[in-house]
Amino acid sequence: MRRNLALIVLSFFVLQAKAQELFLLTNPASNVPKNALIFRGMNSFFQRTIDNSISYHLMPEIEYGLSKKLMLITNGFISNERNKLNFEGASFLTQYRFYSNDEAKKHFRMAVWSRIALNNADIHQEEIELNGHNSGIRIGLTGTQLLHKTAISSTISFQQAIDNFNNKFPQNYSTQSVDYTLSLGQLVLPRTYKNFNQTNVNLMVEVLGQTHLTNGKSFLDITPVIQFIFKSKARLDIAYRRQLYSTMFRTQPNGIIINLQYSIFNVVKKK
């Protein structure tokens, strides 16, 4: 009984401390807690520029904290690109947190990560996106600063895209890019913690950019997010991603994202 109570209290304080750095489109340098399993379902509804129809993507995801420094993520890609739901591919991400400077109500952490993706979707735009559109590999570096109720996180990464199986990569498209992000999160509710049943409300904004190495084409997007965390386990994100500028061809730059998530702690029981 005491052990279970301690686990509940620990998970409460871990989630409360990380609440405002649970970003939607980028992972902070703070990993999934050790021995925690997270189930995630991201739904995106983006408007196609060619005919104003809605492009729907579902990305079911599983995250696991292998240790306090290493987390593993795998997800799948489902879309309606051919006017029906199709399973198009999957990716695997691993992140290693190599630096931590933790103090009371604040910390700074850094992590390296990589994603490998396989996708059979049609390659219909110049933007490179391994999380749902392209096959390839991505490696990155993330730094995250938490200051009480405010979190700031930034990443820089390199992407190398390859053919999507039989869907060959267009020769006039760049296969390499440098990507960069800046994410800000603010915990707005509750103002005072009383118990883990309280609903957390976080306001966030994420800025995401990409520059192609062979031709210099680039884009920059902004994504405001409102996030709700229920009983320190369930989570709902509602966001709107909007293109600020672009010099490359993108078929669906603007749209709404809805993410549902549930966390299970102490998955592997100790004897």
Confidence check: pLDDT of 90 > 50: yes
Q: Which residue has the higher pLDDT, 136 or 124?
A: 136
Least confident of 6-20, 63-77, 251-265: 6-20
Give per-residue pLDDT as tens, 52-87.
889 999 999 999 999 999 999 999 999 998 778 999
Confidence check: pLDDT of 18 > 60: no
* C-alpha span between 63 and 93 (Å, rounded): 9
Average of pLDDT values for 243-271?
91
Confidence check: pLDDT of 17 > 60: no
Average of pLDDT values for 21-43?
93
**The dihedral of CA 226, 142, 35, 19: what is its sign?**
negative
DSSP per-residue codes, 210-242: EEETTT--EEEEEEEEEEEEETTTEEEEEEEEE
Q: Structure tokens of 231?
A: 């009983």
* C-alpha span between 78 and 69 (Å, rounded): 30
Residue 5: pLDDT band with limits 50, 70, 90:
very low
Average of pLDDT values for 19-42?
89
Task: Yes or no: say if 143 and 108 are a contact pair by the CB < 8 Å rule.
Answer: yes
Question: In the prediction, which pLDDT does 104 show?
Answer: 77
Q: Which structural domain, as residue segments, surrounds residue 207?
A: 2-264
**Would 269 be classed as within a structural domain?**
no
**Would 199 be classed as within a structural domain?**
yes
Name the burial class of residue 252, with classes exposed (0-12), middle (13-18) and buried (19+) by CB atoms within 10 angstroms of its CB.
buried
Domain count, the chain: 1
**Would 270 be classed as within a structural domain?**
no
Question: In the prediction, which pLDDT does 15 show?
Answer: 41
Least confident of 41-50, 103-112, 189-198: 189-198
Task: Yes or no: say if 177 and 213 are a contact pair by the CB < 8 Å rule.
Answer: yes
CATH code for the domain of 213:
2.40.160.40
Question: In the prediction, which pLDDT does 81 show?
Answer: 81
Confidence check: pLDDT of 263 > 60: yes
**Would 172 be classed as within a structural domain?**
yes
Number of Cβ within 10 Å of residue 119's Cβ equals 25
* C-alpha span between 44 and 133 (Å, rounded): 13
**Would 271 be classed as within a structural domain?**
no
Three-class secondary structure of residue 15 per DSSP: helix
Question: In the prediction, which pLDDT does 4 show?
Answer: 45
**Would 258 be classed as within a structural domain?**
yes
Phi, psi (5° rounding) for residue 151? -125, 140
Confidence check: pLDDT of 202 > 50: yes
**Would 133 be classed as within a structural domain?**
yes
**Would 108 be classed as within a structural domain?**
yes
* C-alpha span between 250 and 44 (Å, rounded): 16
